[in-house]
Amino acid sequence: MEEPIRIAVIYGSTRKGRFCDKVVAWVAEQIEGAANYAIDLIDPAKVLPGNEPEARQGAANLWQRMAAADAFVVVTPEYNHGYTAALKSLIDSVGAEWQAKPVAFVSYGGISGGLRAVEQLRLVFAELHAVTIRDSVSFAGAWEQFDESGRLHQPERAGRSMATMLGRLHWWAVALRNARGVMPYAPAL
């Protein structure tokens, strides 16, 4: 049996009362119901440096968790036509851990569904030598699509988009993990 693909699902928001929790819960449920995956939920509110003991502990092991991941799913809101400062801080907290690994996106927001944030993130991840997955999941008017318990009112379309995205992510994760096993990735100097 193939070794599980280790997917780090990254929260894109740290706001109190954030909607991100509902979207991440849906994403995790979809991944758990799909293929042979091991999930690690990475929350910037818990791993970025701060004064709370939990934040200090989380920051200490962020590097190891990111290095262990074979692939990433970034769940991002769109704030003012972009992604959040907390997400940028988390991205910049590590470096080589992103290299030669695939990154997929699940976005949410108002009318654009977070797609403007995703397009900006694609540029950032290209600079980090990560491979972004073209297929994504986007929730326009997200607050109207989920009920109070975090269930989608009409899950079929999002489920199909997620299945397509996970299929592509899986392919890239296996291909790049195998390639890194044969030859360590080292960007040109």
Q: Where are the beta strands (DSSP E) in the chain?
A: 5-11, 37-42, 71-77, 102-109, 131-132, 137-140
pLDDT for residue 187: 67
The b-or-e profile of 106-133 (16+ CB within 10 A means b, else e) is: bbbbeebbbbbbbeebbebbeebbbbbb
Q: How confident is the model at residue 9 (pLDDT cuts 50, 70, 90)?
A: very high
pLDDT tens string 79-88: 999 999 999 9
- CA-nearest of 112, 103, 44, 27 to 78 is 112
Global pTM value = 0.92
pLDDT for residue 12: 97
Considering the chain, what is the average pLDDT of its residues? 91
- Is 41:28 a contact under the CB 8 Å cutoff? yes
- Please name the amino acid found at residue 61: N
Q: How confident is the model at residue 175 (pLDDT cuts 50, 70, 90)?
A: very high
pLDDT tens string 59-110: 668 999 999 999 999 999 999 999 999 999 999 999 899 999 999 999 999 9
* Whole-number Å distance between alpha carbons of 151 and 169: 24
Is residue 151 pLDDT above 70, yes or no? yes
Average of per-residue pLDDT across 13-38: 93
Average of per-residue pLDDT across 30-38: 89
- Is 10:42 a contact under the CB 8 Å cutoff? yes
Domain 5-182 sits in which CATH superfamily?
A: Flavodoxin domain (3.40.50.360)
Domain boundaries, the chain: 5-182
* Whole-number Å distance between alpha carbons of 123 and 22: 26
Average of per-residue pLDDT across 172-185: 95
| CA dist list (Å): 33 to 7, 28, 39, 98 | 14, 9, 11, 25
